[in-house]
C-alpha cells in the first residue's frame, strides 16, 4: 500500500472508503456512543496501518520525522505519556538491581522504575533558589562528585526543565557521564518545545543526552498521553529500548493518539519557527505588562530578571511561576482567586501558582492572563516573607523501595509514625514528585513538613489515601 504522509488523513480516507470493520475496536467506527468522539478514525493495527512495536510503514516514517526534527538517532512514539517512556528507558539503560544516580526531585515514574527494577538509587540534591523556593539547576559538579563517590553507577537520571521551567547544563553533565561511559537519561517531559526557536532553547537531545523523554502533550499541540522517546550515542541499545517500550506500553496503541503526534510533528516541520517566533513575541509583550506588578512576582518574567538567579543555567520562558511569598496571599488562595476570574492554573504550591503557556496561546489569551494577574496584584498587600519550608535532605534509608513494598504494612496516625519505615509513597500532585518513598525512615522534620504543606491548603497524596492524617509504615521497624 502507498505511504501517506499524514496519519489522520489516511484514517479519514480509510473510513470514507467504507471497508467493513471485522476487527477491534468494538465500536466499529459507529457513533453509537455519541458524536463527540471521532469514532470513525479509531482503528486497530489493520493492513496498511503499520504496527507501533514493529514499525515499517507510516508509523516508522512519522518516528523518523521526529528523530530528524529533534536531531536524535532514533525516536519512538509513546502512547502512555512520558511515564511509560521513563519506565522503558530506565529498564533499557540500568541493569536489574544496579546502582543509579538520580536527582531527588524526579517524577514518580522514575521512582516506579527504581522499584520495578530493584535499583539502588543515590540522590543528587540540586540547590533551591532562595528567593522563590523552587529547585535550581543541577550543577554538573554535583554529578561529578556523585560519580566519584559511588562506584558502579550504571545510569544518571535528572529532570530538565523542571516543572517551573529551570533548565540544567545537560551538555556539561552529559560530558561528565560520558567520560565514565555512563548513559544520561533526561526527563524532558516539560521540554518538547525547546528546539524550534532561539527564545526556547536548552533541549537535552541537542545537548547530547543518551535518552530523552518528552511529553508532547504537555507543551505542544498533541493529545493527552502522547510523548516521544529519543535515543542517541552508543551507550544505550535502541533495540533494547524498543523491547521495553513494548513491555511497558499497550499492544493496542491508539491511532488517534499517534495521529495527533504525527500532526504535531508536521506542524513543527512546516510552521515551527514561525509559530514559536509569534509565541516568543507574545510572551515578550506579556513580560512588558508584568513589569507593572508591585506585589506578586513571576519567576524570570517582567521586572523579575533571570540574572537574579545565578543557580539557573537557563530558563524556559513558557513557564509562569507566580510567587505569593511577599504578599498576603498563599499559592492556594491565589489559585482560588484566579479560578473565580475564569483562569485555571496548572499547579498550586504552598508559596505560589504555576501557569503554563504554549505556542497555542495568542496575544489575546496572554493579555487576558496578564490583566487578571495585574488586577489581583492591585488587590493584595505586601507582607514580610512567610516562613519557607527548608529543603530537607533525603531521609535515612532502611530498605530499597522494592524490599519495603514486600514487607507487611500497618496504618499509623502521622504523629505516631516518627522513626518508622515508610511502606508507601507520599507526594503532591501535580507535580507528582515523591516527598518520601517506601523504605525511608520518617524523621520528625519530615512529618512536620507534611503538616506545614497540609496547613497551607495544598493536598498531600499517598498510595493508601491516608495522608495527611495517617500513613502506612512497615510492621517491623
Q: Which residues lie near ligand PLP (CB under 6 A)?
A: 81-83, 107, 109, 159, 163, 187, 189-190, 215, 227, 430-432
Residue number with CB closer to ligand PLP (148 or 247):
247
Least Å distance, CB 430 to ligand PLP, is 6
Residues 6+ apart with CB under 8 A from 378: 294
Shortest CA distance to 313 belongs to which of 211, 210, 202, 157?
Answer: 202
Q: Report, in Å, the least distance between residue 209 CB and ligand PLP.
A: 14
CB of 187 to ligand PLP, least distance (A): 5
Q: Measured between alpha carbons, how far is 263 from 259 in angstroms, rounded to an integer?
A: 6
CB of 50 to ligand PLP, least distance (A): 23
Neighbouring CB atoms inside 10 A of 61's CB total 16
- Relative orientation angle of helices 363-379 and 255-290, to the nearest 10 degrees: 50
Q: Determine the Cα–Cα distance for residues 21 and 44; give it in Å rounded to an integer.
A: 10
Q: Which is nearer to ligand PLP, 165 or 259 (CB)?
A: 165
Phi, psi of 50 (to 5 degrees): 65, 180
| Shortest Å, Cβ 410 to ligand PLP | 31
Count CB atoms within 10 A of the CB of residue 363: 14
Q: Closest residue (Cβ) to ligand PLP?
A: 81
Between 78 and 296, whose beta carbon lies closer to ligand PLP? Answer: 78
Sign of the C-alpha dihedral, residues 71, 72, 76, 77? negative
Q: Smallest gap, in angstroms, from Cβ of residue 4 to ligand PLP?
A: 27
Please list, in sequence order, all residues whose beta carbon lies within 8 angstroms of the beta carbon of residue 215, skipping any fewer than 6 positions away: 81, 82, 189, 190, 192, 226, 227
Q: Give CA–CA dist 186/161, Å, rounded.
A: 9
Q: Please identify, using beta-carbon distances, which residue of 308 and 461 lies nearer to ligand PLP.
A: 461
Nearer to ligand PLP, 83 or 330 (CB): 83
Asked whether the beta carbons of 409 and 473 are under 8 A apart, the reply is yes
Tell me the closest approach of the beta carbon of residue 136 to ligand PLP, in angstroms. Answer: 15
Q: Which residues contact 8 (CB under 8 A, 6 or more apart)?
A: 41, 259, 260, 262, 263
C-beta closer to ligand PLP: residue 126 or 302:
126
Q: Are 248 and 79 in contact (CB under 8 A)?
A: no
Q: How far is the CB of 3 from ligand PLP (least distance, A)?
A: 29
- Measured from the CB atom, the residue of 107 and 319 that comes closer to ligand PLP is 107
Amino acid at each position: 500500500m502507498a505511504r501517506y504522509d499524514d496519519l489522520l488523513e489516511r484514517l479519514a480516507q480509510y473510513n470514507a472508503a467504507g471497508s467493513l470493520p471485522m476487527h477491534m475496536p468494538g465500536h466499529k467506527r459507529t457513533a453509537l456512543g455519541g458524536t463527540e468522539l471521532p469514532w470513525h478514525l479509531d482503528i486497530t493495527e489493520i493492513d496498511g496501518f503499520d504496527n507501533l512495536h514493529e514499525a515499517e510503514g507510516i508509523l516508522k516514517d512519522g518516528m523518523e520525522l521526529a528523530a530528524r526534527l529533534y536531531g536524535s538517532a532514533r525516536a519512538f512514539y509513546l502512547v502512555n505519556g512520558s511515564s511509560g517512556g521513563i519506565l522503558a528507558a530506565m529498564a533499557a539503560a540500568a541493569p536489574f538491581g544496579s546502582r543509579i544516580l538520580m536527582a531527588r526531585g524526579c517524577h514518580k515514574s522514575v521512582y516506579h522504575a527504581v522499584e520495578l527494577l530493584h535499583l539502588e538509587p543515590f540522590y543528587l540534591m540540586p540547590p533551591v533558589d532562595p528567593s522563590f523556593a523552587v529547585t535550581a539547576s543541577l550543577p554538573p559538579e554535583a554529578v561529578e562528585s556523585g560519580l566519584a563517590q559511588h562506584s558502579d553507577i550504571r545510569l544518571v537520571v535528572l529532570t530538565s526543565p523542571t516543572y517551573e521551567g529551570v533548565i540544567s547544563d545537560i551538555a556539561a553533565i552529559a560530558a561528565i557521564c560520558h567520560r565514565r561511559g555512563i548513559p544520561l537519561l533526561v526527563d524532558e517531559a516539560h521540554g518538547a518545545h525547546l528546539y524550534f526557536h532561539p527564545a526556547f532553547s536548552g533541549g537535552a537531545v541537542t545537548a547530547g543526552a543518551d535518552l530523552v523523554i518528552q511529553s508532547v502533550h504537555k507543551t505542544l499541540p498533541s493529545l493527552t498521553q502522547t510523548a516521544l522517546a529519543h535515543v542517541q550515542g552508543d551507550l544505550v541499545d535502541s533495540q533494547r529500548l524498543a523491547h521495553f517500550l513494548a513491555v511497558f506500553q499497550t499492544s493496542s496503541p491508539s491511532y488517534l493518539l499517534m495521529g495527533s503526534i504525527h500532526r504535531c510533528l508536521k506542524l513543527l516541520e512546516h510552521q515551527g519557527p514561525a509559530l514559536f517566533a509569534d509565541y516568543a513575541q507574545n510572551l515578550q509583550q506579556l513580560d512588558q505588562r508584568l513589569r507593572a506588578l508591585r506585589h506578586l512576582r513571576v519567576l524570570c518574567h517582567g521586572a523579575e530578571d533571570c540574572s537574579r538567579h545565578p543557580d539557573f543555567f537557563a530558563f524556559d520562558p513558557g513557564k509562569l511561576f507566580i510567587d505569593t511569598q511577599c504578599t498576603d496571599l498563599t499559592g492556594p488562595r491565589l489559585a482560588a482567586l484566579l479560578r473565580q476570574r475564569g483562569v485555571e492554573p496548572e499547579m498550586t504550591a504552598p508559596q505560589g501558582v504555576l501557569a503554563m503557556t504554549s505556542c497555542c496561546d495568542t496575544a489575546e489569551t496572554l493579555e487576558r492572563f496578564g490583566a487578571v494577574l495585574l488586577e489581583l496584584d492591585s488587590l493584595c498587600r505586601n507582607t514580610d516573607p512567610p516562613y519557607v519550608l527548608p529543603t530537607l535532605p533525603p531521609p535515612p534509608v532502611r530498605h530499597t523501595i522494592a524490599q519495603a513494598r514486600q514487607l507487611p504494612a500497618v496504618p499509623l496516625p502521622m504523629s505516631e509514625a516518627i522513626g518508622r519505615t515508610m511502606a508507601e509513597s507520599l507526594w503532591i500532585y501535580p507535580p507528582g514528585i515523591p516527598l518520601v518513598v517506601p523504605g525511608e525512615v520518617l524523621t520528625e522534620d519530615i512529618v512536620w513538613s507534611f503538616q506545614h504543606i497540609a496547613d497551607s491548603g495544598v493536598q498531600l497524596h499517598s498510595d493508601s489515601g491516608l495522608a495527611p492524617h495517617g500513613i502506612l509504615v512497615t510492621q517491623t521497624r
